[in-house]
Each structure stands twice: as structure tokens, then as C-alpha cells.
Amino acid sequence: MGLANAAAPAPQWMRKGALFTPQMYETGERKELFADIDKAKAASRPFVFIDIGANVGLFSLLVASQAGETAKIIAVEPETENLKRLRFNVAANAGIPIRVVPIALGESAGMVVLNVGEHDRGGTYARPATAKDSADNTITKVECRTLLEVLRQEGITSIDALKIDVEGAEDRILIPFFKESEQSLWPKLLVIEDARNSWRDDLFSALAERGYTVAARTRLNVMMRRPAR
């Protein structure tokens, strides 16, 4: 599977590791995701994966490599350079089932300003755009939608797994989604960057109230599952 050199977005060891030794990349997350992919294959149905904060597509590519061409993968990434590399990686792998959505996600639709990390584009975060921002051509402004809007637009009716890494805005995307969406759309598996110190609301408690329990933890992420139905 081809992969662009993501010079800015990720540490060098991670980029090379994902390309040349993928079995060493995100081993805890791989275990949980691959177990669910195997279940989907056993049931002869496509695996549906939502990648929020896709960066250059490492998680999306990882899932695609295991789930195959029947999968449906939505990779959401707004940052210009990350997006360029993500699109290159998708184009370099003919038939790969990844649909790139080049926007930000948030509590409501509108425009947001991207504050791009100077040394790490993976650390980019969004803030609401102000009237003053509209006349400032030195900043990056992108479209923002809610997660539910994007899922409806893409025709998603169920989700096997959702990964989210958006530099502390995970609560502002997921909590409104769970309040507004039908339960049939709730992901079976969540892979969430543990950024609780930056959250406005307690996302983990909100998920526990909806029946999610912790399945595994890694250095960066928490994997949570819904009870089997």
C-alpha cells in the first residue's frame, strides 16, 4: 500500500513505521479494529469506518488494508497540507474504499479558522470564525459541519468503528451527535484520543451514560464499545 511522506504532520518514526512495519503501528488500536473487521467479514457485510481528524490517512489506510474494497471509509480532514497528502495516498492505491471529506467538524455548521501547528500539522485545531476574520486573508478558513450532517450526506446508516483525534474538540463533535442521532447510527467501537484536559464537557461520562464501556487503552487513545445487541 503506497503512502506519501507526511513530513510535517507526524513524527518521523511514526511515518516510517506505518509504511515499512505496519504491524508495529498502533498495535492496541489495530487489535480492536481488526477484530471488528473480521466480524464484518464473517457476516459478509461491508465494514464502515469513520476517521475524524484523518491527517494523512494512516488509520484509514490501515483499515482499508484489512477490510478490503467492500469497506466504506469516510476520512474527514480540513488542513491543507494534510489533505494534500491524504488525497495522494488515496490516489496512489487504486480501488481503495476511502472517501475524503475536506471540512472541519463541530457543534454547528458555518466557517471556522484553523490554527495550524507550526512544527506539527497534526496539532492543528479549529476555532469559530469571527466577523473580523472574514477580511483577513492571512488565516485559513474552512467549512464546518456537524458529524450528523456529514453522515447523512454520505448515506451512512450504521457505523462499525469511529476514530476521532481533533486536538481537544472531541467532546464538541461527539456529544451533540449522540444527543441528535438515532441509536442505530451510534458506532459499535469508538477510538478516542484522550484529551480530557482540553474538553469543555466530560465526554467519557456522556458515553458511559449511553452504555459505552472501556474495552482497551493505549498511551494516546481510549477504545470504547457498545453492548452487543
* Sequence spans of domains, the chain: 12-225
Question: Among 29-38, 87-96, 145-154, 205-214, where is mean pLDDT lowest?
Answer: 87-96
pTM for the structure as a whole: 0.84
Q: If you average pLDDT over residues 19-43, what whole number do you get? A: 83
Would you state the torsion angle of the CA atoms of residues 76, 70, 155, 201, taken in this order, to the nearest 10 degrees?
A: -40
Encode pLDDT of 33-42 as tens digits: 999 999 999 9
Describe the crossing of helices 12-20 and 58-67 by its angle, rounded to 10 degrees.
10
Q: Are strands 140-145 and 104-105 parallel, antiparallel or unpaired?
A: parallel
The mean predicted confidence, pLDDT, of the chain is 85
- 182 by Cβ neighbours in 10 Å (0-12 / 13-18 / 19+) ranks as exposed
Q: If you average pLDDT over residues 44-53, what whole number do you get? A: 97
Query: 10 Å Cβ neighbour count for 119?
Result: 6
Alpha helices in 51-146 (DSSP H): 58-67, 80-91
- What pLDDT does 28 receive? 93
Architecture of domain 12-225: 3-Layer(aba) Sandwich (3.40)
pLDDT level of residue 4 (50, 70, 90 thresholds): very low
The pLDDT > 70 percentage for the chain reads 77
